[in-house]
Structure 1
């Protein structure tokens, strides 16, 4: 199912909901602009989130964008490990729901 060529179909969304999609594209552009965080930092966050959500399109697109913003292998690796820690931490903390509440 995953094929980067599928992204060419995004134009169908633009055609079918131009106002909403225009708002989305403006929002997306604004979010990734430099601000309190640099564009590179934001792309590294996006890589970590993409790994956590396991979206192959986002992983590829944001990895390329992070590299274009100057991110190196070490930074991408650390972002991946943060992603793994958060995902594993969620499983551990939710495991507390396996046990009855203490009185």
Structure 2
């Protein structure tokens, strides 16, 4: 199912059939990643952590590449992965408390 070529070749189809929605999405995406209070590298590491927790292979690849282009090191990428893993595991632990209702 996952093939980066599918993403690249099929986004046009989505754009064709949902033009207004896709136009709004791309504008929002551009605004979210625009320079601001958070620098480009940090924004890409945040996006990568989110991609790891949602397990989107396209986003993992795209935001890893973007983070590297923004200057992220292997150490920063690895720590980002560990933070994402901690958040995901933490969700399982905290949700487990619902098993023990009195």
The interval holding the TM-score normalised by the smaller chain is over 0.9
Q: Which protein has the larger Cα radius of gyration, Structure 1 or Structure 2?
A: 1
Secondary structure of 2:34's counterpart equals coil
After superposition, what is the alpha-carbon deviation per residue over 1:5-31, rounded to whole angstroms, capped at 9, x for unaligned?
Answer: 111100111111111111111110110
Superposition deviation, residue 51 in structure 1: 0.6
Look up the SS of the partner of 2:93 in the other structure. Answer: helix
TM score, norm. by length of structure 2: 0.95
Gaps of 5+ in 1: none
Any unmatched runs of 5+ in structure 2?
Answer: none
Partner of 2:27: 26
1:55 aligned onto 2:65: no
Distance in 2 between residues matched to 1:16 and 1:58, nearest whole Å: 22
Task: Supply the distance in 1 between the matched residues of 2:35 and 2:93 (Cα, whole angstroms).
Answer: 34
Post-superposition CA distance 1:28-62 (Å, at most 9, x none): 01101111101110100011011111110000000
Which residue in the other structure is 2:6 paired with?
Answer: 6
SS where residue 37 of structure 1 aligns? coil
Moved more, 78-87 or 15-24: 15-24
> What is the RMSD of the two structures over their aligned residues, measured on CA atoms?
0.8
Structure 1 length-normalised TM:
0.94
Name the counterpart of 1:45: 46
Tell me the distance in 2 between the aligned counterparts of 1:100 and 1:17. 45
